[in-house]
């Protein structure tokens, strides 16, 4: 025998082949294949039955089935109907599950066979009910049911084969899972159970051995053997037998007691499963069933954290909450459980961008330093009056920052600033950081502040300030040093290391941003296809085991029929093709992705050719009448691009066309292998002309008839993008523009520049991970931070007004003038004053005006002008040199300088008093103008530098036009002008109209100033409440969207 | 029909009806399955020379049905019966040899045993038991014979190429490279190739059942026997 080729391994069973393998083929597989009964011994040789034939009953091939004999279990290699049995995969409550192969087609699947001794009518009904319930769910995280049939007198259920074993196997082989892996697995389970709940199915037997792993490691819920329908619609629930059914280690107390159950019973079992994954043991275990039931009902479980200290305490608490005896104490829904669990999973976070971290850091500084400064200016500063120097050292704010970071980040994992911007600390793997790590971080981050505090403690604050005052260069350097230190800390941050700064690297932490939860919107089944069934055309009553309900559509390749599986009680789509059409390729048959239809069965004979597919509820992409939001569409883009990648990889790429996209009601998009039911052949989309876009040429050719053309992936995505944009644009006036990156992505794709499917899938995934909307908090906080200095300045200016007035009473004017005379006589104009008069002035001032001389608040007040400061030294000296002046001396001195005093009073009366109101109010007005002007200038510069503004950019937002494109500099400046227009009007008035500069001279100017401030404040609040637009956005036709 | 089922046990048990036809059938069976027994004897520790003599001697004695009264067919399997007989023979080796030397006039089987040692050298070296080696060899012999036979039939129709190209389809898959490629190579059409594959599978199926049926007592045991052999090969 010529051995043309000896492969090292059998392609079927994977065993190593010996050199003497007969014909170079695996002998075991050869025997098994040869021994399998030929199904179609009655059919002509050209016939091929391609799939499981549900409901065929005892066919000619089932006579050799061991099920008819005494053997309760099937052995590997045995045949059952058209299937060859492989290894046993597991045993459920009602039967065994085997790996099996449909001999003729070679399709591999899992076969669940009703246990031999359970052959009563009730058992059979229950067994088939499992199939019906499970078949009503199609979700990426549930095991898909292909069909149900009866072979050799035994009912079987055929389902998706999952090669990765169960979660129980994983724990048995590799020990307990990491918290992140366990959380990720349980999130998958929750996804599947949530879909089951939406379909009205309660599982009732969730446990690690019922959770299966697919080739990619995703977890799928299977074995709906104990499930019941919570709806009374399609499946008879049947009276429960009372008493307990389930697995007691994982079942809640109410299930053990045989009480009515709801979703919270499954949530308990999910918690028990999570417990097992984390610790390797179920929450309760007793060899004796009765003892176990007693413990489940009465004992509190040992917290997972006690069994395994590296389980985060919050996760441990969550598990215990799921395991609460009272259902009311458990998470009320899968959504609640999932959102509590998500932070522990892995895919939840993305590295925080530096811009957002900067703003968060400023927010923290703002939150800590602002109260500190207020306290200082009202409390501490009073005690330190007179000690002001040019080098004002403040080590204490830094120390408090350290304590703040240490406590808040150590205990909660995020400072307030981080929390406001959706950031938190995490380990590089995405897990929770520990207190010690936060402490290391805080120490490094605040090293400079802490060192300064240490120096102050050693030297003494005043000495340091004095020393610094004599070394002004160093004082300046101190400010520069902290900036340089921050720069050094962040010098290590790169995209590839998750923007890790030095303190991140040393402490083994990262700052991460939450990836916004992306929940696909479940839409109710809308356009029912029933209206489109054509029952008049000559359709067969049956296709294999399926009843035919009507024709859904036809095209060049064949017809699509609406079928019904009478056993599983679900609808199927049947594609009628010529009998000589090639059968569905094996690779396509085995595809199990939510983005493709599951292939159920098929047949090719001389007169008959059909394939049956699952029929998910939904609507065709092109036939979708109403507008859709971006939150829906981005999920479709992610689905379609991922499917393009998978299909290319697996060689299962279908013909690509817009009318072959189906939108499921659970929000997923499906690539169909045939035109979508409900779309007529000429029902081309509005953008049908686009379907001819060649990715390279980019020109729009005449539209080929749909169904005849297969688009290149890039051209397909171009057509999809256009439809998505059109749908989003027609979503109504309320619709806001898409996030900037989404607009850019759709624009690029629309031009046919999507690139390879891999690149497109990456881009789509990145866009999906972005938030759809602008968060009010994120938008408002920088606004508040930016406007606070101006506000403080304005409020402060008005606050000092009374102080200023009190500074210019007639008595004080007299004091100033006399002091000025004294001061000038000490200098170059000594001769101007004769010594006797000088002595009289000094005596008079020291005696009569002692209160003013020693009024430190007056001398150090903000309103004290530079001239006044020059008098301060004289005043201080005078008060010190003449501590006690007799009243008689004062009176004598007063008499001596009476003419001078009279002149001063006259001057006050004629020139000072009338102007006083005006000049006093001028100061707060100038300060207000200065504050507003500076803030305005800053905003203007920022708007010119980065269209939309630097702050908007830092917090990860962008300003766009109605069509979604980013605004240019001109519109950016326009936005600033509009936003600041009240202030600008006021400033203009103040410049042009002197009366407006006064506050209390008349009512109108005061009203004007106050109105300005109020209008600005209202605008700010309005922007915070309507973060996507704000007042200026509305007036300039711009929106703020996530970048 | 070529694969006529011979009730081997009937032949053995009913010595009186020892016709030339049934004796010839039994001889053919022995000729088919001698090598697994040789391998068994070698694995028991006998050297090549001794194994050769013992195997020859065993078959002579077996066909003469002398001294095997204590051995009963096990569930009707020829395989099991042959092995049990060999074990019995080996344990009474000296007496059997003595008896043989006296001669019985039975012509020796043409076992082609000369290249036996060459084949044995290729047996897996891992420490499988002699019994397992025997059973494994037995199963491979079954398949070898069927494939040889099928190839002979295809060759007789001058279609040996087709057989070689399509034999991998016996595993249930499409031919390596796909129907189109094979059709192109054979100068045929994919449709015709599919038909040929189907025919080959059916022939193989029929031949397998017939081969196995020869070695069991009851046709209903064919499936059991196949399962057993698959299990043997899978071990």
> pLDDT tens digits, residue range B136-159?
888 888 898 899 888 988 888 888
The conformation of residue A517, written as its DSSP 8-state character, comes to P
Asked if A909 reaches chain B (Cβ–Cβ under 8 Å), the answer is no
The residue among B32, B117, B116 whose CA lies nearest residue B82 is B32
Q: What is the mean pLDDT of residues A648-661?
A: 85
What pLDDT, on the 0 to 100 scale, is given for residue A117? 66
The C-alpha of B98 sits at a distance from chain A's nearest C-alpha, in angstroms, of 37
The C-alpha of A18 sits at a distance from chain B's nearest C-alpha, in angstroms, of 8
As a whole number of angstroms, the distance between CA A1017 and CA A784 comes to 10
As a whole number of angstroms, the distance between CA A396 and CA A375 comes to 12
What pLDDT, on the 0 to 100 scale, is given for residue A347? 59
The C-alpha of A646 sits at a distance from chain B's nearest C-alpha, in angstroms, of 22
Q: How many CA atoms lie within 13 A of A707 on its CB side?
A: 18
Residue contact A106–B173, C-beta within 8 A: yes
What pLDDT, on the 0 to 100 scale, is given for residue B100? 53
- Best of B172, B186, B216, B231 to disrupt the A interface (most A CBs within 10 Å) is B172
Closest residue in B to A10 (Cα) is B171
Q: What is the mean pLDDT of residues A319-335?
A: 92
Say whether pLDDT at A873 is over 80: no
Q: What is the mean pLDDT of residues B73-78?
A: 65
Q: Whole-angstrom distance between the N-terminal and C-terminal Cα of chain A?
A: 69
CB neighbour list of residue A201: distance below 8 Å, 6 or more residues apart: A133, A134, A136, A137, A224, A227, A228, A229, A230
Q: What percent of chain B has pLDDT over 70?
A: 72
Q: What is the mean pLDDT of residues A689-700?
A: 38
List, for residues A263-309, the tens digit of each pLDDT value.
898 999 999 999 999 998 899 887 777 778 888 888 889 999 998 88
Q: How many CA atoms lie within 13 A of B209 on its CB side?
A: 16
Residue contact B230–A2, C-beta within 8 A: no
Q: Give the closest of A27, A48, A79 to B143, CB-based.
A: A27
Q: Give the closest of B140, B174, B195 to A22, CB-based.
A: B140
Asked if A579 reaches chain B (Cβ–Cβ under 8 Å), the answer is no
Residue contact A22–B168, C-beta within 8 A: no
Task: Give the pLDDT band of residue B72 (cuts 50, 70, 90).
Answer: low
What pLDDT, on the 0 to 100 scale, is given for residue A691? 40
Q: Which residues in chain A have their CB less than 8 angstroms from residue B230's CB? A: 28, 31-32, 35, 76-77
What pLDDT, on the 0 to 100 scale, is given for residue A358? 86
What pLDDT, on the 0 to 100 scale, is given for residue A576? 87
Q: Give the closest of A12, A28, A79 to B233, CB-based.
A: A28
As a whole number of angstroms, the distance between CA A86 and CA A109 comes to 10
The helix/strand/coil state of A213 is strand
Q: What percent of chain A has pLDDT over 70?
A: 76
Q: Which residues in chain B have their CB less than 8 angstroms from residue A75's CB? A: 227, 231
- Best of B35, B203, B227, B228 to disrupt the A interface (most A CBs within 10 Å) is B227
Q: Which residues in chain B have their CB less than 8 angstroms from residue A10's CB? A: 171
A–B interface: beta-carbon pairs under 8 A? 114
Q: Which residues in chain A have their CB less than 8 angstroms from residue B79's CB? A: none
Provide the residue count of chain B.
235
Q: Give the closest of A1, A15, A77 to B227, CB-based.
A: A77
Residue numbers of B between 195 and 224 with CB closer than 8 Å to A: 195, 198-199, 201-202, 204-205, 207-209, 222-223
Q: Which residues in chain B have their CB less than 8 angstroms from residue A27's CB? A: 139-140, 143, 233
Lookup: tokens for A991 = 């410049």
As a whole number of angstroms, the distance between CA A301 and CA A311 comes to 15
The residue among A1004, A972, A989 whose CA lies nearest residue A928 is A989
Q: Which residues in chain A have their CB less than 8 angstroms from residue B168's CB? A: 24-25
Q: Which residues in chain B have their CB less than 8 angstroms from residue A64's CB? A: 222-223
As a whole number of angstroms, the distance between CA A728 and CA A722 comes to 10
Q: What is the mean pLDDT of residues B40-68?
A: 81
Residue contact B231–A64, C-beta within 8 A: no
| DSSP-derived secondary structure for A642-696 | HHHHHHHHHT------GGGEEEETTS-EEE-SSPPTT--TT---TTGGGGG--TT
Residue contact B233–A31, C-beta within 8 A: yes
Q: Which residues in chain A have their CB less than 8 angstroms from residue B229's CB? A: 31
Q: CA triplet A329, A330, A331: central angle to 5 degrees?
A: 125
As a whole number of angstroms, the distance between CA A701 and CA A692 comes to 5
As a whole number of angstroms, the distance between CA A690 and CA A702 comes to 9
As a whole number of angstroms, the distance between CA A167 and CA A182 comes to 10
Say whether pLDDT at A699 is over 90: no
Q: Which residues in chain A have their CB less than 8 angstroms from residue B164's CB? A: 2, 4
CB neighbour list of residue A50: distance below 8 Å, 6 or more residues apart: A104, A105, A583, A584, A601, A602, A603, A604, A611
H or E element at residue A267:
helix A263-279
Asked if A77 reaches chain B (Cβ–Cβ under 8 Å), the answer is yes
What pLDDT, on the 0 to 100 scale, is given for residue A778? 78
What pLDDT, on the 0 to 100 scale, is given for residue A238? 36
The C-alpha of A35 sits at a distance from chain B's nearest C-alpha, in angstroms, of 6
What pLDDT, on the 0 to 100 scale, is given for residue A273? 94
pTM listed for this prediction: 0.62
Task: Give the pLDDT band of residue A524 (cuts 50, 70, 90).
Answer: low
**Across all residues in chain A, what is the average pLDDT?**
76
List, for residues A389-398, the tens digit of each pLDDT value.
434 556 777 8
CB neighbour list of residue A225: distance below 8 Å, 6 or more residues apart: A92, A93, A94, A127, A130, A205
Q: Give the closest of A24, A32, A48 to B230, CB-based.
A: A32
Least reliable range by pLDDT among A79-83, A191-195, A912-916:
A912-916
Q: Whole-angstrom distance between the N-terminal and C-terminal Cα of chain B?
A: 34
CB neighbour list of residue A804: distance below 8 Å, 6 or more residues apart: A863, A920, A923
Residue contact B233–A27, C-beta within 8 A: yes
Q: What is the mean pLDDT of residues B119-136?
A: 76
Is A148:A568 a contact under the CB 8 Å cutoff? Answer: yes
Closest residue in A to B178 (Cα) is A585
Q: Which of A160-169, A782-791, A828-837, A870-879 has the highest mean pLDDT?
A: A160-169
Say whether pLDDT at A248 is over 80: no
Exposure string of A702-720, with b = 16+ CB inside 10 Å and e = fewer, is eeeebbeeebebbbbbbbb
Residue contact A4–B144, C-beta within 8 A: no
Write the ipTM. Answer: 0.83
Closest residue in A to B206 (Cα) is A34
Is A322:A268 a contact under the CB 8 Å cutoff? Answer: yes
What pLDDT, on the 0 to 100 scale, is given for residue A683? 43
Lookup: tokens for A920 = 């006093």
Residue contact B171–A46, C-beta within 8 A: no
Task: Give the pLDDT band of residue A36 (cuts 50, 70, 90).
Answer: low
What pLDDT, on the 0 to 100 scale, is given for residue A189? 93
Closest residue in A to B143 (Cα) is A22
As a whole number of angstroms, the distance between CA B168 and CA A3 comes to 11
For tokens 């990456």, the residue is A762
The C-alpha of B93 sits at a distance from chain A's nearest C-alpha, in angstroms, of 32
Alpha helices, DSSP H, located in A104-151: 121-135
Asked if B118 reaches chain A (Cβ–Cβ under 8 Å), the answer is no
Q: Give the closest of B167, B198, B233 to A45, CB-based.
A: B198
Residue contact B234–A580, C-beta within 8 A: no
Q: What is the mean pLDDT of residues A691-708?
A: 41
Residue contact A15–B234, C-beta within 8 A: yes
For tokens 């009866």, the residue is A150
| Higher local confidence (pLDDT), A709 or A841 | A841
H or E element at residue A441:
helix A435-445
Say whether pLDDT at A685 is over 70: no
Q: What is the mean pLDDT of residues A1027-1041?
A: 79
Residue contact A586–B174, C-beta within 8 A: yes
Q: Which of A121-125, A958-962, A1029-1033 has the highest mean pLDDT?
A: A958-962
The C-alpha of B94 sits at a distance from chain A's nearest C-alpha, in angstroms, of 35
The C-alpha of B159 sits at a distance from chain A's nearest C-alpha, in angstroms, of 14
What pLDDT, on the 0 to 100 scale, is given for residue A72? 55
As a whole number of angstroms, the distance between CA A165 and CA A184 comes to 17
What pLDDT, on the 0 to 100 scale, is given for residue A232? 39
Asked if A15 reaches chain B (Cβ–Cβ under 8 Å), the answer is yes
Least reliable range by pLDDT among A333-337, B66-70, B130-134:
B66-70
Closest residue in B to A7 (Cα) is B168
Asked if B131 reaches chain A (Cβ–Cβ under 8 Å), the answer is no
> What is the phi/psi pair of residue A832, to 5°?
-65, -15
Is A24:A4 a contact under the CB 8 Å cutoff? Answer: yes
Least reliable range by pLDDT among A409-413, B42-46, B108-112:
B108-112
Q: Give the closest of B122, B194, B226 to A31, CB-based.
A: B226
Say whether pLDDT at A29 is over 50: yes
């Amino acid at each position: 025998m010529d051995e043309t080729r000896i492969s090292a391994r059998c392609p079927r069973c994977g065993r190593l082949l010996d050199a003497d393998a007969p014909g170079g083929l695996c002998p075991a597989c050869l025997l098994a294949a040869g021994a399998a009964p030929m199904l179609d011994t009655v059919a002509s040789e050209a016939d091929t039955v391609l799939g499981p034939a549900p409901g065929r009953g005892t066919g000619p091939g089932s006579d050799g089935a061991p099920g008819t004999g005494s053997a309760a279990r099937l052995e590997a290699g045995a045949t059952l109907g058209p299937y060859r049995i492989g290894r046993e995969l597991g045993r459920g409550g009602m039967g065994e599950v085997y790996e099996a192969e449909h001999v003729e087609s070679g399709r591999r699947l899992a076969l669940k066979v009703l246990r031999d001794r359970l052959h009563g009518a009730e058992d059979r009904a229950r067994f088939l009910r499992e199939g019906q319930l499970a078949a009503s769910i199609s979700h990426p995280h549930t095991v898909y049911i292909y069909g149900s049939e009866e072979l050799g007198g035994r009912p079987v259920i055929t389902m998706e084969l999952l090669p990765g074993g169960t979660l129980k196997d994983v724990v048995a082989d590799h020990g307990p899972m990491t918290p992140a892996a366990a959380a990720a697995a349980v999130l998958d389970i929750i996804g599947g159970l949530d879909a089951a709940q939406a379909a009205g199915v309660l599982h009732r037997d969730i446990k690690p051995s019922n959770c299966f792993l697919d080739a990619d490691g995703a977890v799928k819920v299977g074995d709906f053997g104990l499930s019941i329908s919570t709806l009374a619609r399609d499946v008879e629930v049947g009276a429960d037998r009372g008493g307990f059914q389930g697995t007691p280690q994982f079942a809640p107390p109410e299930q053990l007691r045989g009480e009515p159950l709801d979703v919270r019973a499954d949530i308990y079992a999910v918690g028990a499963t999570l417990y097992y994954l984390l610790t390797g043991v179920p929450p309760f275990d007793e060899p004796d069933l009765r003892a176990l039931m007693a413990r489940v009902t009465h004992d509190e479980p040992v917290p997972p954290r006690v069994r395994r200290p590296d389980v985060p305490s919050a996760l441990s608490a969550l598990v215990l909450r799921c395991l609460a005896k009272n259902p009311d104490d458990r998470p009320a829904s899968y959504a609640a459980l999932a959102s509590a669990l998500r932070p522990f999973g892995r895919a939840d976070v993305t590295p925080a961008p530096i811009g957002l971290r900067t703003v968060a850091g400023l927010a923290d500084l703002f939150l800590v330093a602002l109260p500190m400064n207020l306290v200082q200016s009202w409390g501490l500063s009073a005690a330190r009056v007179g000690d002001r120097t040019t080098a004002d050292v403040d080590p204490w704010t830094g120390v408090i920052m350290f304590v703040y970071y240490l406590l808040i980040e150590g205990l909660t994992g995020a400072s307030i600033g981080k929390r406001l911007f959706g950031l938190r600390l995490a380990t590089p793997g995405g897990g929770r950081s520990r207190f010690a790590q936060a402490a290391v971080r805080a120490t490094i981050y605040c090293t400079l502040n802490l060192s300064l505090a240490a120096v102050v403690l050693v030297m003494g604050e005043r000495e340091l300030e004095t020393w610094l005052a004599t070394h002004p260069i160093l004082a300046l350097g101190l400010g520069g040093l902290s900036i340089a230190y921050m720069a050094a800390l962040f010098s290590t941050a790169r995209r590839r290391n998750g923007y890790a700064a030095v303190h991140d690297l040393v402490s083994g932490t990262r700052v991460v941003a939450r990836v916004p939860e992306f929940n696909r919107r479940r839409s109710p089944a809308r356009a029912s296809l029933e209206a489109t069934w054509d029952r008049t055309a000559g359709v067969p009553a049956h296709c294999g085991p399926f009843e035919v309900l009507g024709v859904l559509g036809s095209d060049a390749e064949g017809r699509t029929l609406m079928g019904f599986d009478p056993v599983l009680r679900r609808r199927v789509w049947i594609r009628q093709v010529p009998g000589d059409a090639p059968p569905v390729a094996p690779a396509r048959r085995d595809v199990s992705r939510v983005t493709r239809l599951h292939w159920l069965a098929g047949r090719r004979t001389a007169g008959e050719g059909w394939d049956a597919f699952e029929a998910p509820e939904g609507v065709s992409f092109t036939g979708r009448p109403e507008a859709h939001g971006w939150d829906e569409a981005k999920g479709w883009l992610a689905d379609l691009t991922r499917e393009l990648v998978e299909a290319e990889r697996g060689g299962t790429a279908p013909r690509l066309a817009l009318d072959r996209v189906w939108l499921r009601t659970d929000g997923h998009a499906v690539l169909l292998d045939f035109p979508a039911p409900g779309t007529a052949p000429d029902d081309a989309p509005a953008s049908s002309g686009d379907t001819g876009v060649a990715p390279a040429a980019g020109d729009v050719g005449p539209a080929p008839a749909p169904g005849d053309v297969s688009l290149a992936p890039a051209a397909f995505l171009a057509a999809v993008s256009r439809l998505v944009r059109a749908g989003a644009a027609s979503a109504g006036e309320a619709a806001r523009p898409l996030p900037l990156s989404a607009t850019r992505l759709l624009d690029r794709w629309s031009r046919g520049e999507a690139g390879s499917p891999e690149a497109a899938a990456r881009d789509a995934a990145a866009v999906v991970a972005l938030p759809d909307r602008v968060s009010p908090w994120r938008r408002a906080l920088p606004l508040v931070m930016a406007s606070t200095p101006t506000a403080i300045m304005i409020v402060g200016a008005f606050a000092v007004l009374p102080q200023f007035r009190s500074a210019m009473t007639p008595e004080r004017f007299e004091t100033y003038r006399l002091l000025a005379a004294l001061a000038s006589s000490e200098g170059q104009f000594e001769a101007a004053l004769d010594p006797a008069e000088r002595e009289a002035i000094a005596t008079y001032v020291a005696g009569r005006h002692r209160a003013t001389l020693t009024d430190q608040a007056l001398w150090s007040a903000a309103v004290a002008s530079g001239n006044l400061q020059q008098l301060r030294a004289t005043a201080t000296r005078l008060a010190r040199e003449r501590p006690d002046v007799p009243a008689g001396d004062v009176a004598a001195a007063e008499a001596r300088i009476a003419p001078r005093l009279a002149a001063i009073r006259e001057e006050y009366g004629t020139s000072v008093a009338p102007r006083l109101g005006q000049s006093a109010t001028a100061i707060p007005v100038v300060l207000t103008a200065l504050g507003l002007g500076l803030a305005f200038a800053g905003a203007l510069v920022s708007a010119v530098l980065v269209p939309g503004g630097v702050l908007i950019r830092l917090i990860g937002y962008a300003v766009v036009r109605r069509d979604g494109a980013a605004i240019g500099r001109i519109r950016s400046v326009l936005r600033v002008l509009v936003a600041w227009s009240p202030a600008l009007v006021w400033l203009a008035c103040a410049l042009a109209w002197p009366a407006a500069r006064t506050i209390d001279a008349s009512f109108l100017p005061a009203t004007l100033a106050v109105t300005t401030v109020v209008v600005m404040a209202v605008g700010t609040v309005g922007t915070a409440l309507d973060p996507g637009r704000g007042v200026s956005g509305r007036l300039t036709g711009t929106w703020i969207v996530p970048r | 029909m070529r694969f006529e089922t011979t009730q081997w046990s009937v032949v053995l048990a009913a010595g009186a009806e020892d016709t030339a036809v049934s004796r010839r059938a039994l001889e053919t069976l022995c000729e088919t399955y001698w090598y697994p027994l040789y391998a068994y004897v070698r694995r028991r520790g006998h050297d090549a020379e001794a194994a050769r003599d013992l195997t020859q001697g065993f078959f002579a004695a077996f066909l003469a049905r002398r001294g095997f009264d204590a051995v009963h067919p096990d569930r009707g399997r020829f395989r099991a019966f042959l092995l049990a007989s060999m074990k019995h023979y080996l344990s009474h080796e000296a007496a059997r040899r003595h008896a043989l030397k006296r001669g019985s006039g039975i012509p020796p089987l043409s076992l082609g045993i000369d290249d036996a040692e060459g084949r044995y050298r290729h047996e897996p070296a891992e420490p499988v038991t002699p019994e397992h080696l025997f059973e494994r060899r037995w199963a491979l012999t079954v398949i070898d014979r069927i494939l040889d036979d099928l190839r002979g039939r295809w060759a007789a129709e001058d279609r040996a190429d087709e057989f070689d190209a399509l034999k991998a389809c016996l595993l249930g898959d499409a031919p390596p490279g796909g129907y189109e490629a094979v059709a192109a190579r054979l100068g045929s059409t994919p449709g015709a190739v599919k038909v040929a594959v189907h025919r080959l599978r059916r022939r193989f199926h029929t031949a397998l059942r017939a081969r196995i049926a020869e070695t069991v007592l009851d046709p209903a045991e064919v499936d059991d026997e196949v399962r057993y052999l698959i299990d043997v090969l899978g071990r």
